[in-house]
Amino acid sequence: MPSCVLPDHVLAALLADDVPHGDLTTEALGIGAQAAELHFQARADLRLCGVEEAVRLFTLAGCRAQALAASGDALAAQQPILHAAGSADALHRAWKVAQTLVEWASGLASAAAALVAAARPCPVACTRKTPPGSKALAVKAVRAGGAGMHRLGLSETLLLFAEHRLFLTEAPAATIARLQSSQPERKVVVEVHSVEEGLLWAQAGAHVLQLEKFNPDTLAALAHQLRTQGLAPVLAAAGGIHPGNAADYVAAGAALLVSSWPYSAAPRDVAVHFVAGGAAGG
């Protein structure tokens, strides 16, 4: 996925936030006009994300930059990520912003990749609980790690929570029929918290049961009862899913794992090497 998801005005704002009135140290040293280059490389194994944005940050700062790998690539330690060249002032202006962006996005992408590997062959979808203000880059990182998005927002899916059902007085089957009638292109997903709720809404016609904080044994018990009744909704395990328990949920009968776990991942370190000399300029 080589595309850049953050537009120039967002990237320019990141640069302006970090360097609002020039680089005081570089200016005080009088080295800003000197030519230099730098290299980004993986410090340890990682799933790369954000390199396209990093290249654009260097370009906006007045450098020449080239990606040496793409978002979604699995890199081993010491493998190159990007190269940039320009004046010392321009390189210092973009360096830390670009490094931080790649490290954060690659941490998320690497965590998503670890969860996908642990769940294989069951697909993984990440929730919309992205860190505030980071949705575009977080979604790119999730996809770079091989996972999908559970839902990008409230506007696109029918997901019936207990908090919705508080306001209903009709039978579950009537609710499902009403939703299917008004939104015939959409599948109806119902979040349930017990085997009994799962059976009730499966019998009512729900297409997908989102099993909130079920343990694998409870999920297996529901799956068994659904089979005995000839019911086959998609079972999506959600809540507390991580690489350490993903395989257990898959073995219990989950057809989809829904998780927010990758969003808490630590950044992946990116090594940066400066070299003085060369041809400065953008």
> Region 254-267: what's the mean pLDDT?
97
d(CA 46, CA 252): 30
Cβ neighbours of residue 281 closer than 8 Å, sequence gap 6 or more: 35, 62, 64, 86, 87
pLDDT at 182 over 90: yes
* pLDDT confidence bin for 114, thresholds 50/70/90: very high
What are the C-alpha distances in Å from 136 to residues 44, 132, 152? 25, 10, 10
pLDDT of the residue at 157: 93
Q: Measure the CA–CA gap between 141 and 103, rounded to whole angstroms.
A: 11
Report if pTM > 0.75: yes
For residue 273, name the pLDDT band (cuts at 50, 70, 90): very high
Which residue from 88, 38, 84, 76 is spatially nearest to 57, judged by alpha carbons? 84
Q: Would you state the pLDDT for residue 277? A: 86
Q: What is the pLDDT of residues 196-234, one digit of tens each?
A: 999 999 999 999 999 999 999 999 999 999 999 999 999
Domains of the chain (ranges; CATH) run 8-115+266-276 (3.90.1170.20), 120-264 (3.20.20.70)
